[in-house]
A = this chain, B = another copy of it.
Amino acid sequence: MIDIARHAGVSKSTVSLVLQGSPLVKAETREKVVAAIEALGYVYNRGAANLRGQRSNIVGMVINDLANPFFAELAVGIERVFHAAGYIPFIANTIENPKRQGEVLRSMSEHDIAGLIICPARGTRPSDIETMAQLGVPVVLAMRRLAGPRYSSVTPDNLRGARRATEHLLALGHRRIAFFGGYSDMIAQNDRCGGYQAALVAAGIAVDPMLVIEGPPNRECGQNAIGHVLDMAVPPTAALCFNDVVAFGVLTGLERRGLAAGRDFALVGFDDVAEARHTNPPLTTVHVDTGALGERAAHQVLRMIHGDARPEEFVSDVDLVVRASCGAATGRLQ
């Protein structure tokens, strides 16, 4: 910067002013400086600026499973608005590992991030997040709320979505309906499973705990769950899955046994990732406007960065989209 000051015949302070687009500098001077910048191939050091200015344009994005298309879509939405606002995100994929999550959180705070969006890994203690908040970093929780102090959050309406999906299965005549995936110590699972149970109870059906199969929200879990359940004395005829990826696993498990969803078993997912419409058969699922949810989360941290500290718990509307995996299209079940 001193070099370019010399080259333009001004002081480094003036260069700084130009760089910040200050209106205090005369147009003519500005041009000289810009020319010098151009000529010398100067590149701004934002790290140094952060250090002195005590502010940063880095934000953190910590995702628990980036290989799940749902979270990838969420990340895309988040990145879109951050980029537009001049912020640049760190990314970390915690793969549901609180230890790994702790490491990245520490690393991000060492870099003095201006804000943080986090889908907490399973087993995250509120204190892990609290540490960040205490440092003055605006935090918004995505997809998974946390017990304890009020944080900003964005979530789909898990309870309502699961309830509608279950009602649909009930309307198709199913009485023994299972719930696959997620763990009861995850709030999202509580909400989705809660919606499922509420619908059962409202229909006068007792909840059978044997039919709630917990597991990680991935393909493998779905595949195991369907196998397990089909070996029961009185197997269920339908299942709601914690998310689409679990449902994809169920599809594989069914196929391995020569069975097909929609014909031999009614299957419903949750999230409506882009691939859900192409599965075999196409997956009935609860539609979530994932990209918009991500954008909303980013806007929340932006708002908080700009000084509005009020937490906001945003719950987005959801819709059941009926395709073939539930058997409704073919009408062949019951």
Q: Is A109 an interface residue (CB 8 A)?
A: yes
A242 to B66, CA, bound (A): 23
Q: Is A116 an interface residue (CB 8 A)?
A: no
A109 to B46, CA, bound (A): 9
Q: Is A219 an interface residue (CB 8 A)?
A: yes
Contact of A275 among B75, B88, B93, B275 (CB under 8 A): B275
CB distance from A245 to the nearest CB of B (A): 9
CB contact list, A80-120 vs B, under 8 A: 80, 83, 88-93, 100, 103-104, 106-112
Q: Is A215 an interface residue (CB 8 A)?
A: no
Contacts of A80 in B (CB 8 A): 93
CB distance from A252 to the nearest CB of B (A): 7
Q: Is A173 an interface residue (CB 8 A)?
A: no
Q: Is A135 an interface residue (CB 8 A)?
A: yes
Contact of A46 among B43, B110, B248 (CB under 8 A): B110
**How large, as a class, is the contact surface on chain A?**
35 or more
Contact of A72 among B61, B72, B90 (CB under 8 A): B72
- Please choose the segment from A10-18, A47-55, A191-199, A299-307 that sits at the chain B interface, where 4 or more of its residues have CB less than 8 A away: A47-55
CB contact list, A126-148 vs B, under 8 A: 135
Query: Which of A90, A109, A280 has most B Cβ within 10 Å?
Result: A280
Interface contact B47-A76, CB-CB below 8 Å: no
Contact of A88 among B90, B100, B248 (CB under 8 A): B90
Q: Is A20 an interface residue (CB 8 A)?
A: no
Contacts of A88 in B (CB 8 A): 90, 92, 104, 107-108, 111
Q: A219 — nearest CB in chain B belongs to which residue?
A: B274
Known contacts A47-B111, A88-B104, A88-B108: A67-B58 contact under CB 8 Å? no
Interface contact A67-B104, CB-CB below 8 Å: no
Known contacts A69-B275, A91-B89, A275-B248: A44-B83 contact under CB 8 Å? no
Interface contact B111-A248, CB-CB below 8 Å: no
A75 to B93, CA, bound (A): 9
Contacts of A334 in B (CB 8 A): none
Contact of A66 among B76, B104, B107, B278 (CB under 8 A): B76
CB distance from A211 to the nearest CB of B (A): 24
Task: Pick 9 A–B contacts, CB within 8 A, sort by A.
Answer: A43-B110, A43-B135, A46-B107, A47-B56, A67-B69, A67-B76, A75-B93, A88-B107, A88-B108
A residues at B contact (CB < 8 Å): 43-48, 50-51, 56, 58, 61, 66-67, 69, 72-73, 75-76, 79-80, 83, 88-93, 100, 103-104, 106-112, 135, 219, 248, 251-252, 274-275, 277-282
9 tightest A-B CB contacts, nearest first: A280-B280, A91-B91, A275-B275, A72-B72, A46-B110, A278-B279, A47-B47, A44-B110, A248-B278
